[in-house]
Amino acid sequence: MFDYPVYLNLKDKKCLVAGGGSVAERKVKALLECGARVYVVSPRITAWLDEATAGGRITAIRRNYTATDLENAFLVIGATDDRRINNRIAEDCAERNIPVNIVDDPAGCSFIVPAILRQGPLCISVSTEGKSPMLARKIREDLEMAFGPEYREFLDLMGSIREHVISSIPEEDRRRDIFYRLVYSDIIDLLRDGKHKKVKERIDHVLGSGWTQS
């Protein structure tokens, strides 16, 4: 039996992080990148978390975790340094059917956080289902060599192109052919080499010179 991979939309969702150390800080940063409303509960927090609280980016509750903190929570991460508290968080979330990740305790998790490579809209996740997070990290680092910032540029282009194609070309077969020709072209290589004039020539060849990036 394997874990079911899924990407969650956390925009404006309440996400609770129990713990205020360096691990909790790393989890908070990842949640903020996804647009979550982050609440941190911990008697002590790092300097960065304190600054984020003062700047209104997160809400920090300076005390130990209680079950009331779970009210309206969409997702919870247990990252305290007390195993008993982490176990209680896992149990409380299980009773309420709230997805929970307990750091360094796969058995207490209802979901795990994979190693992630992100290039703008491109997100590649690597999981070993808790058996070797270090291997997942190594694979992610290997992938960074193959998927550089040119993929972010390409996806930014494709976002505009997709809107144009869908709005102007009703035939599904023609759309699919256009997307295929662009994705399987050398545009990504040209972006990697900084040859933006050539990129425009390739796109014009497929779409016609009437298209301009929005």
Class of domain 14-113: alpha beta
Dihedral of alpha carbons 137, 139, 141, 147, sign: negative
Alpha-carbon distance of 211 to 214, in angstroms, equals 9
104: left (phi over 0), alpha (psi -120 to 50) or beta: left
Query: Percent helix, strand and coil across the chain, each rounded to 5?
Result: 50, 15, 35
Domain ranges of the chain: 14-113, 114-147, 150-207
Please give the pLDDT value at position 214: 59
Architecture of domain 114-147 in this structure: 2-Layer Sandwich (3.30)
Give me Rg for the CA atoms of the chain.
22
Q: Could you tell me the pTM of the whole model?
A: 0.83
**Burial environment of residue 7 by CB neighbours within 10 A (0 to 12, 13 to 18, 19 or more):** exposed
Gap between the Cα atoms of 68 and 77, Å rounded: 15
Residue 210: predicted pLDDT: 63
Angle, helices 150-168/172-183, rounded to nearest 10 degrees: 160
SS3 141: helix
Q: What confidence tens digit (pLDDT) does each residue in 98-153 have?
A: 999 999 898 899 998 899 999 999 999 999 988 898 999 999 999 999 999 999 99
Per-residue pLDDT for the chain (214 aa), expressed as one digit of tens each?
788 899 999 999 999 999 999 999 999 999 999 999 999 999 999 999 999 999 999 999 999 999 999 999 999 999 999 999 999 999 999 999 999 999 989 889 999 889 999 999 999 999 998 889 899 999 999 999 999 999 999 999 999 999 999 999 999 999 999 999 999 999 999 999 999 999 999 999 999 866 666 5
